[in-house]
Structure 1
Amino acid sequence: MFTQLCNQIFNQSILDYHQYNDVHQAISNPYDKSSIEHLLYLKNWIDTVQWHLEDIIRNPNIDPVEALGIKRWIDKSNQERTDVVEYIDSYFLEKYKTVTPAADAAINTESPAWAIDRLSILALKIYHMQEEATRADATPEHREACQRKLDILLEQRSDLGTAIEALLTDIAAGKKYMKVYKQMKMYNDPSLNPVLYKGAQ
């Protein structure tokens, strides 16, 4: 199943990152650039680096200049994440381009790639909650509470995977159809962000 491939690659990306656990380390994507696996690995790597940037910026003693730099890094990361999601949806659009939707075909509330985006974030939540559930220097109460949360996250991943597989099956059968809206982020666009275009005048 496609979601099994996703989970496998997301876990690989997370483990690769945590070999060094450094937001500055360069990605070493092991998959061919033309493959969906390459996009899935890239997607999760971006998410993983951003996860740790979000941790760093919450340090109450962080230098304000450093915090500003990280905030801008996170903004750039968000744009990259959106771009990769759109590339993944392009893969599905190409895959199902010959399918003729049924007359009563319905549109889904989100595209396959945005559901896969949530699967990638869930992989990170599961990895880090597992860390907390087994942290040797934590109290038994902390570990037990985190194990309960981990159980819920694992159930959530299973449910989300089932929903994604059902969506892909319905698209392939013409019961649902894809309609992708390119993200129209305004804050990074100098012609749409008033702070940027007024500052340029």
Structure 2
Amino acid sequence: MFSNFALGIFEESIDKYHIQDRVDQPFENPYPVNDVAHLLYKKNWIDTVQWHFEDLIRDPGIDPKEALVLKRKIDASNQERTDLVEYIDSYFLDKYKTVSISEGAQINTESPAWALDRLSILALKIYHMREEAERSDASEDHQVACQHKLKILLEQRKDLSIAIDQLLEDIANGKKYMKVYKQMKMYNDEELNPVLRGRK
């Protein structure tokens, strides 16, 4: 199942990041460039670094200048994340390009890659919720509450994985079809963001 394949790569990326647990550590992709695993690993690495950017920027004592630099990094990370999702969807578009679409086939509310984006974030939530549930310096109430949340997240992962695999199977059988729209983010574009355009 593709969801298990992707989840294994996401968890590998998360574990690798947390060896050093630094947002500025060098990135090395262990998978060949022409392999979808390369895209999945890079996608999750971006998500993992951004997760920790988001932690850092919420520090109430952060220096405003540092916060602005960090906000710019988060913006760039968001753009890179979106680009990776579109590259992954391009992989699926190419993979299923010869499938004959059945009469009455329907489009899904989200593309396979955006569903995998949610699975990547969910893998991060599970990793960090498990950390909280097992924290030796936390209160018993905290651990119990986090164990409950972890159980829900694991159930969500199971349901989402089933949904992803079912979507891919339906696309492969022509019961559903893909139609990908570029995100067309406007705030990073000097021609579309009036504030940036005014500074040209």
Q: TM-score range by the shorter chain?
A: over 0.9
- Counterpart of 2:12, as a letter, is Q
Match of 1:79 in 2: 79
Deviations 1:14-63 (A, max 9, x none): 00000000000011110001100000000000000000000000000000
Alignment correspondent of 1:180: 180
Q: What's the counterpart of residue 116 of structure 1?
A: 116
* 1:32 corresponds to: 32
Aligned to 2:58: 58
CA distance in structure 1 between the aligned counterparts of 2:155 and 2:118, rounded to whole angstroms: 14
What is the alpha-carbon distance in structure 2 between the residues aligned to residue 101 and residue 162 of structure 1? Answer: 22
Amino acid at match of 1:118: R
Shift of 1:105: 0.3
Question: Which sections of structure 1, spanning at least 5 residues, go unmatched?
Answer: none
Runs of at least 5 residues in structure 2 that lack an aligned partner in the other structure? none
The match for 1:98 is: 98
Task: Output the TM-score relative to the length of structure 2.
Answer: 0.99
1:100-126 CA-partner distances (Å, limit 9, x unpaired): 111100000000000000000000000
Q: How does 1:1-12 map to 2 (within 5 A)?
A: 1-12=1-12
Per the TM alignment, residue 198 of structure 1 is displaced from its structure 2 partner at its CA by: 1.1
Return the offset for 1:146.
0.1
- Whole-angstrom distance in 2 between the partners of 1:158 and 1:27: 29
SS at match of 2:19: coil
Q: CA deviation at 1:199?
A: 1.7
Letter matched to residue 141 of structure 1: D
- In the alignment, the residues of structure 1 paired with residue 3 and residue 170 of structure 2 have an alpha-carbon distance, to the nearest angstrom, of 15
Q: Aligned partners of 1:180, 1:190: CA distance in 2, in Å?
A: 24
| Percent of aligned positions that are identical | 67
CA distance in 2, matches of 1:148, 1:32: 39
Provide the residue aligned with 2:88 in structure 1: 88
Q: Deviations over 1:68-110 (max 9, x none)?
A: 0000000000000000000000000000000011110000000
- What is aligned with 2:130? 130
Provide the aligned C-alpha RMSD in A: 0.4
Q: Matched residues in 1 for 2:27 and 2:89: separation?
A: 22
Q: TM-score, normalised by structure 1?
A: 0.99
Cα distance, 1:139 vs structure 2: 0.2
